Structure 1
Amino acid sequence: MPHLLRRALLLIVLVSPAALHAQAARGHTEPLSIEHMRQRSYPGSTLTTREILPRGANYQRRIVSYQSDGLRINALLTVPTGTPPKGGWPAIVFNHGYIPPDQYRTTERYVAYIDAFARAGFVVLKPDYRGHGNSEGQPSGASYWAPDYTIDVLNAFASLQQHANVNRARIGMWGHSMGGHITLRAMMINAHVKAGVIFAGVVAPYDMILNDLPRWGSSSGPGTRSGMLARYGTPNSNPHVYQMISPNSFLADLKGRPLQLHHGTGDTHVPYSFTKSLAAGLQAARQPHEFFSYQGDDHNLSRNLTVALRRSVAFLKKKL
């Protein structure tokens, strides 16, 4: 055996166990680690009304607040009018995509989306993540680089469970773009999220996210792309840690809870390949899912929104 090859093999034998142990320790303590997030508590709180808004067609609208990590987080809440069914209304935590925090407004954007679910008899809670609108706290960057927004969403879920007119066994999630990543991550952490719908989600493994997601901005720090690379290097150099923080590594833990996926092939914000990758992972893990692609459509499914929302409503009515 050549000398250099023998030396390389010896180094692997001597160094790899310690290196793997160090990677495992770092992965378990990383705030984004799925296992680490499972160890946290997400108690939520009673939903407190902050402002009563004009009614929708057959539902009430108001701005409410709840507690998350000691912060007051605001949210848009819709509740159907009339007598709740036995056990309470089914409900959805609605996770919006990335909007610059200084531009975010509670009652703007996603109006047609929320109306579709509210008209169909769902309670809908759309959290304003920390630092958005009038929510307390500082925004922390996208949810794939920091856990903060997922924490806010899991506390929103717990707060919905405490609502008198909600059936706590019939709560799901809907997410778009970054909110799709939050939805997938939240379902890996909390087994009580019964079903999820994801539009154009950032739902690929981290090697694809780091390689293929457009690099908006040049921010740095712990809750950013550059901060993650500075801490851990690349997925190729540190695969164990990236597996620990990726929801895609835990798809078998869905244990039959279904997902419905939607993505336009013309999306220039989040690659269509991300949802294809998740669908393949769900298939390999033998988890129930539906995958709808929309030829040439954009990040917001503008050409097929009515169809996509109709499919989403029907799916959640059946699965919740």
Structure 2
Amino acid sequence: MAALTLATRSSLATAALVLLAGCTSEPDAGPAPAGESSATTSAEPEAAETPTETPTETPTETQSPEPPPNPISIAALAQADLTGGGLRLGAVRERTPAYTSYDVTFASTTAGDGTAPLRISGVLNVPTGRAPQGGGWPAVVLGHGYIDPAYYVRGQGMTRERGFLAQRGYVALHVDYRNHAESSDDPRIESAVRLGYATDVIAAAQALQESRDVRVDPDRIALFGRSMGGGVMLKALAIDPGLFAAGVGWASVSSLEGQNFDHFQRPDAPVAQLEAAFRGRHGLPDEDPAFWRGVSPRPSFGDITEPVLMVHGRFDDTCPPPWATATQRALTEAGVDSTLEWYDDGHAFGPAFVAAMDRTVRFLDNRMPA
């Protein structure tokens, strides 16, 4: 999602947090073929040269530069210098025969504007044993779905996925996002429609790449988001193409943010309150459609260079299955190597969890071979 990432307790802010939960001229003719001449001869005498008027310069049409993108947009973040690093291992949370789990922190840029970076917390699972010869462990950055930040605790939301991946030989870094758990607060997170979550997962990948404590192959880092995190994943791939080796989205929200707003946020608060919350920043989707497209990943799918696996339950009553179909179609039309897998399950993936994870690991193994 992610990507990458201030909790208010009023009914309006709770509703706002659900958003994102759950973007020829013809070729020259060229020289004449060899052996042929483009000149012509004539038996007629040359006509006398007639004076011509002094040519006048034709004014050239100047193109005005394109206006800069809205500062709150995927396009603006794609142009920003997003940075992350400083991965620090803290207390050991758990030791199993397959992996060791650590509390971690790392730094994430605020908004690419040169301000002080934020401290992001998370949980890191490192497989037991030595890293593979060569580049190191393959890794997966995890972007969780929506959980009220007022109640969210470190590493919550993708514990099963984190453990499963580590058992299969992947370093797994669960990102708490800004304003969650022990992460720093970003007071602009709501006015920026949570785009900061995408910068947090981007920062997580950069932190893994430069870590001296965990040997990770910098060319084999994937991004895996579920629900809201699925949207974070798509945004991050569009913002920083080439950083990740692959993307996975489970039970993802819509790739159009106006659709997410109408589905999750609009029913939970009176329109007057919603309008007041956005006044002075941007309008609601039907009032300011250009803004909402600018914070949506779909218009930027053409920038994605990584293969993407989408996984969705046929009985998902939180993120409607047609959203997955529309996202998959848009990815394909944009030229993205993408696959959509369906399972007879709901939003949380209960009975189909193991099968869906097996499919996800096969996808990662194939797309990030040793």
TM class, shorter-chain normalised? Answer: 0.7 to 0.9
Which of 222, 234, 250 is the equivalent residue of 1:199? 250
Structure 1 CA distance for aligned equivalents of residues 82 and 283 of structure 2: 30
Secondary structure in 1 matching 2:84: coil
- Aligned-CA RMSD value: 2.8
Instruction: State whether residues 97 and 128 of structure 2, in contact with CA within 8 Å, keep that contact through their aligned partners in structure 1.
Output: no
1:35 equivalent to 2:35? Answer no
- Aligned partner of 1:269 in structure 2 is 318
- Greater relative contact order: 1 or 2 (C-alpha under 8 angstroms, separation 6 or more)? 2
Say if 1:292 and 1:48 are closer, same or farther in 2 by CA, change over 3 A.
same
Equivalent residues of 1:184, 1:203 under 8 A apart: no
1:47 corresponds in structure 2 to 87
Q: Which amino acid counterpart does residue 30 of structure 1 have in structure 2? A: P
Q: Quick check: 1:213–1:269 contact (8 Å CA) kept in 2?
A: no
CA offset at residue 139 of structure 1?
A: 7.4
Higher radius of gyration, 1 or 2: 2
Alpha-carbon separation, structure 2, partners of 1:107 and 1:44: 19
Q: Which aligned pairs between 1:98-177 and structure 2 lie closer than 5 A?
A: 98-138=146-186, 145-164=193-212, 165-177=215-227
Q: Secondary structure, in 3 states, of the residue corresponding to 1:54? A: strand
State how many pairs are aligned: 292
Alignment of 1:1-320 (within 5 A): 28-31=69-72, 33-68=73-108, 69=110, 70-85=117-132, 86-138=134-186, 145-164=193-212, 165-191=215-241, 192-213=243-264, 215=266, 217-218=268-269, 227=277, 231-235=281-285, 238-255=288-305, 257-295=306-344, 297-320=345-368
Which runs of 5 or more residues in structure 1 are unaligned?
1-20
Q: CA deviation digits over 1:43-98, x for unaligned, max 9?
A: 21221122112213311210011112322211101111222121111111100001
Equivalent AA in structure 1 for residue 236 of structure 2? A
1:16 corresponds to = none
Relative distance call for 1:139 and 1:145 in structure 2 (3 A) is: same
Distance 1:245 1:136, change over 3 A: closer
Amino acid at match of 1:59: Y
SS at match of 1:314: helix
Instruction: Indicate the larger mover: 277-286 or 105-114.
Output: 105-114
| TM-score normalised over the length of structure 2 | 0.72
Q: TM-score, normalised by structure 1?
A: 0.82
Deviation at 1:136, TM superposition (A): 2.0
**Which amino acid in 2 is paired with 1:148?**
G
Answer whether contact 2:189 2:195 (CA < 8 A) is retained.
no
Partners of 1:264 and 1:294 within 8 A in 2: yes
Tell me if structure 2 keeps the 8 A contact 1:116–1:313.
no
CA drift of 1:132 comes to: 1.4
| Structure 2 residue identity aligned to 1:196 | G
Contact 2:155–2:174 at 8 Å: present in 1 too? no
- Label 1:205 to 1:108 Cα distance change in 2 as closer, same or farther (>3 A): closer
Aligned AA (2:224): W
Q: Secondary structure at the match of 1:292?
A: strand
Q: Partners of 1:115 and 1:142 in 2: how far apart?
A: 31
1:15 equivalent in structure 2: none
Structure 1 residues 214 and 264, CA gap change in structure 2 (3 angstroms): farther
The separation in 2 between residues aligned to 1:211 and 1:186, in whole angstroms, is 23
Whole-angstrom CA distance in 1 between matches of 2:367 and 2:181: 32
* Aligned equivalents of 1:56, 1:210: Cα separation in 2: 41
- Write 1 or 2 for the structure with the bigger share of helix: 1
Q: Match for 1:47: what amino acid? A: L
- Check 1:230–1:96 CA distance in 2 against 1; reply closer, same or farther (3 A cut): same
Compared CA separation, residues 216 and 75, structure 1 to 2 (3 A): farther
Matched residue of 2:95: which SS?
coil
Q: Tell me: CA distance 1:108–1:38, structure 2 relative to 1, closer, same or farther (3 Å).
A: closer
Q: Kindly indicate whether the alpha-carbon contact (under 8 Å) linking 1:62 and 1:76 is maintained by their aligned counterparts in 2.
A: yes
Q: Look up the SS of the partner of 1:261 in the other structure.
A: strand
On the 8 A contact 1:130/1:139 being kept in 2, the answer is no
Shift >6 Å, 4+ stretches? 139-144
Unaligned regions of 5+ residues in structure 2, if any? 1-63, 111-116
Q: Is the 8 A contact 2:195 2:295 kept in 1?
A: no
Look up the SS of the partner of 1:102 in the other structure.
Answer: coil
User: Which amino acid is 2:222 matched to?
Assistant: G
